[in-house]
Amino acid sequence: MFVRRRPVRRRMAPRRGAAIIELAVCVPLIVSVSLLAVDFSNKMHDQETLQIAAYEAARVISRPGYSRQKGIDRATKLLSDRGITNVNIDILPADFAALKPGDTLEVVISFKEGASKSPADLLLKAPLGVRAKYIRQ
């Protein structure tokens, strides 16, 4: 006696549809998580760049004979070389000329309000900014 079996394709048809649905749900999720990771790494790079510029500005203006504007110019050049342009640079204390050797000065660099609108900014909820303290020589 001859027994006829069903073709394998018929049993696989509902499963094939489930795989397509899983792919349609998972791929956008994986892509968005990957893009968010790239955005966060860019934010970390920007934070490091701000920190380097703040330390460089503080180092320059802590030397005798250097003005506040020279430090701001040095930080601005370093940041613009790395593609960062919309920042606030502040040097504390405001009366820079009154600093004596051994006094502490501080350079504060932060992004201007509304400078970036990336998804990482929405999650961080605080603008990037750094402070660098240095002792006047």
pLDDT value at residue 124: 72
Instruction: Report yes or no on 2 lying in a domain.
Output: no
Domain of 56, in residue numbers? 11-135
Task: Please tell me the distance from the alpha carbon of residue 91 to that of residue 96, in angstroms, as a whole number.
Answer: 8
Cα separation, 56 vs 73, whole angstroms: 11
Residues 6+ apart with CB under 8 A from 38: none
Q: What is the pTM of this model?
A: 0.75
pLDDT (tens digit, 0 to 9) for every residue of the chain, 137 residues total? 677 766 655 555 556 678 888 889 999 999 999 999 998 898 889 889 999 999 999 999 888 888 889 999 999 999 999 988 889 999 888 887 788 888 889 999 998 766 666 777 777 766 678 888 888 88
Query: Does 27 fall in a domain?
Result: yes
Taken in order 131, 77, 91, 124, the sign of the CA dihedral is: negative
Rounded distance, CA 136 to CA 111, Å?
A: 26
In-domain check, residue 3: no
Listing from the earlier edge strand, what are the strands of the sheet with 129-135?
87-92, 104-111, 129-135
Question: Structurally, how many domains does the chain consist of?
Answer: 1
On the CB side of 72, CA atoms within 13 Å amount to: 11
